[in-house]
Amino acid sequence: MVGFVATPIGNLKDITLRALETLKEADVIFCEDTRHTLKLLNAYEIKKPLFACHKFNETEAAQRILEASREGKKVAVVSDAGTPVVSDPGNVVCRILREANEPYTLIPGACAFIAALVLSALPADQFAFIGFLPDKKGEKLKQLEKYKDLTMTLAFHCAPQDVDKDVAAMYEVFGDRAAVAVREITKIHEEAQHFHLAEGLAGEKRGEYVLLVEGAKEGENPLNALTETEHIRHYMAAGFPKKEALKKAAKDRGVSKSELYPFAVDL
């Protein structure tokens, strides 16, 4: 049997009794980083064989997990922090186990973006979890375009070195919105910093972030505040061909493409 086990996201005390029981009873543990998981196991005096299961070897590791489970072994799968599969390795393992009709379960626990949503005080009745954005600016903008019209709170994971670039891209696509940067969740220096996308996030960027951004207002598109030419140029800068940029801008503004065409001739 395979069990995906949620582990602490900061404070080592944030682990369930069932999770500890599962880890203690496991014959083998597959983890994202063996050195990181060893610290957790040492804290609870658990000694088990550890094998890597990360994004670079997940398919191979999944086969080993499947084989071990079929041999009757108890297998635990963990990520470095929080719930496996959620912006972490594990999804490929789930797929391969399902296709092989091999049973597996989840031992639930900590999840960073859920904790951040609570700490943000932004609307939590409806929300969309996006996770990490692509590295390249063009791909980043294209992905953000998919979510700009959602009227629910948006949640993103963000490494400290990417915060400023991600916030700038969000402002470029969403316009100015309220946002909250949550870091050091469950740790001594836990912080939820409220700001607006237009002003950016102040201060030194340290630790892993969850960025929460308020959703679009009903019937409101910040791009419509641009001139027609700026609106079309916005989509072209995001990597869309002029014809597609014209089509998207027309849809935003609720007008025909022919009405906007004169503004695109010289672009």
Tell me, rounded to whole angstroms, the distance of Cα 234 from its chain centroid. 25
Domains and CATH numbers, the chain: 2-110 (3.40.1010.10), 113-213 (3.30.950.10), 224-263 (no CATH)
CB 123 within 8 A of CB 22: no
> pTM higher than 0.85, yes or no?
no
Q: How far apart are CA 145 and CA 141, in angstroms?
A: 6
CB 24 within 8 A of CB 46: yes
Tell me, rounded to whole angstroms, the distance of Cα 78 from its chain centroid. 17
pLDDT in tens, the chain (267 residues): 999 999 999 999 999 999 999 999 999 999 999 999 999 999 999 999 999 999 999 999 999 999 999 999 999 999 999 999 999 999 999 999 999 999 999 999 999 999 999 999 999 999 999 999 999 999 999 999 999 989 999 999 999 999 999 999 999 899 889 999 999 999 999 999 999 999 999 999 999 999 999 998 866 677 777 888 888 888 888 888 988 888 888 877 778 888 887 888 888
| Alpha carbon distance, N-terminus to C-terminus of the chain | 60
Handedness of CA 191, 192, 193, 197 (dihedral sign): positive
Could you give the angle at the alpha carbon of 161 between the alpha carbons of 156 and 162, nearest 5°? 40
